[in-house]
């Protein structure tokens, strides 16, 4: 039996909230937690005319800043490389868009969806 660390559980919970949010606004979810090399894409969806690559960042509170601040230039570069691999592997011919969903759980649930974040 493996023990999950609290931050991984928080992250998975946030990704579930993000998926529900995206579906509610019309996205068709294609894949979650897709890995290639060193990269992982949290959520891959279609919202015509885009293939949307969504990075989800979740924190229990804003005490240490906003979750979306963790999407550094380095993380962005990995996401771009991973997204290009997904396009090639799945023969998808859509324009790429990169979104970030920033979730703070307490004291009140806050979901901020930043479209075309980078």
Per the domain annotation, does 17 fall within a domain? Answer: yes
Per the domain annotation, does 108 fall within a domain? Answer: yes
pLDDT in tens, 19-45: 999 999 999 999 999 999 999 999 999
Q: Is-contact 101 16, C-beta < 8 A?
A: no
- Provide the domain limits for residue 65: 6-114
Residues 45 and 86: their CA atoms lie apart, in Å, by 12
Query: Residue 5 has what pLDDT?
Result: 67
Domains in the chain, number:
1
User: 84-104 burial, b if ≥16 CB within 10 A, otherwise e?
Assistant: ebbbeeeeeeeeebbbbbbbb
Strand pairing class (110-114; 95-104): antiparallel
Per the domain annotation, does 1 fall within a domain? Answer: no
The whole-model pTM stands at 0.91
Query: Which CATH number is 18's domain given?
Result: 3.40.1350.10
Q: What is the pLDDT along the chain (118 residues), one digit of tens a residue?
A: 445 567 778 999 999 999 999 999 999 999 999 999 999 999 999 999 999 999 999 999 988 888 998 999 999 999 999 999 999 999 999 999 999 999 999 999 999 999 999 9
């Amino acid at each position: 039996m493996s023990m999950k660390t609290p931050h991984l559980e928080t992250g998975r919970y946030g990704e579930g909230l993000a998926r529900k949010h995206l579906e509610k606004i019309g996205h068709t979810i294609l894949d979650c937690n897709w890995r290639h090399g060193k990269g992982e894409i949290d959520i891959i969806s279609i919202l015509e005319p885009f293939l949307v690559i969504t990075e989800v960042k979740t924190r229990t509170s804003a005490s240490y800043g906003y979750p979306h601040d963790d999407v550094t230039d380095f993380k962005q570069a990995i996401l771009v490389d991973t997204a290009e691999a997904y396009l090639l592997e799945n023969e998808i011919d859509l324009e790429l868009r990169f979104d970030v969903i920033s979730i703070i759980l307490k004291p009140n649930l806050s979901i901020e969806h930043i479209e075309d974040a980078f």
